Amino acid sequence: MNFRFVTVCVIVLLFVSGLVNAAETSTELQSAGALYSKSVDLANEGKYKEALQAADQALALNVSSLMPVIQANRAGILTVIGRYDEALIAADAALASEGNLTTTHSIAWYNKGDALRHLGRVDEAKTAFARAQALDPTLLPPKDLIVIVTPVPTTAKSPLPWTLAAGALALVFIIGGVFSRSKR
């Protein structure tokens, strides 16, 4: 998913739909928006811990009109770094927000589905992915909804499931063994 595209869409949607609270100063809104954008950029660069810090700083500014989109984004980041229970809390916070937040809610449902999948709660994940796709048909669920237990990535730009890595390594050894036997 391209976080930049989603960022622009959601921010435009927030302004167009008039959800910006009059009590929020433009400085607070700009600061929270800048931190949110920074979070998205860092996540796109694979710097998930820094992205989470920027998102948390944006949340700390308590700009109510941006809270749902920040929480939806946090849910995705938390899932990537293996903090699935926290990801569910963030997704639920985004989903609890009322208003014309179709894009934000679709992303929150998708990220919730991904966290549930990693927790082995496949039936709930299927429901969450279906809710995401109902709101945004471009958000396709993973092709297979098998449980994927992913170790917490440390610096990986894009986490590779350990099962795929182990399978690839086993394949290298098998192929290597076949070739070494054929040379004898």
pLDDT in tens, 104-119: 999 999 999 999 999 9
CA 184 to CA 181: how far, in whole Å? 5
pLDDT digit string (tens) for 61-74?
A: 999 889 999 999 99
For the cut 60, the answer to whether the pLDDT of residue 4 exceeds it is no
Decide if 49 contacts 57 (C-beta within 8 A).
no
Residue 34's CB is within 10 A of a number of other CB atoms, namely 13
The two structure tokens encoding residue 176? 């290597």
Q: Does domain 3-182 correspond to CATH entry 1.25.40.10?
A: yes
Tokens found for residue 85: 């229970």
Alpha-carbon span 12 to 111, nearest angstrom: 21
What confidence tens digit (pLDDT) does each residue in 10-59 have? 444 444 444 444 444 678 889 889 999 999 999 999 999 999 999 999 99
Q: What distance in Å separates the CA atoms of residue 62 and residue 34, rounded to the nearest whole number?
A: 14
Residue partners of 7: CB distance under 8 A and separation at least 6: 36, 37, 40, 69
Q: How many other CB atoms sit within 10 Å of the CB of residue 8?
A: 13
Is the pTM of the predicted complex or chain greater than 0.85? no
d(CA 64, CA 15): 13
Q: Are 94 and 131 in contact (CB under 8 A)?
A: no
- pLDDT band with cut points at 50, 70 and 90 for residue 148: low
Give the residue among 56, 88, 66, 57 at the shortest CA–CA distance from 75.
88
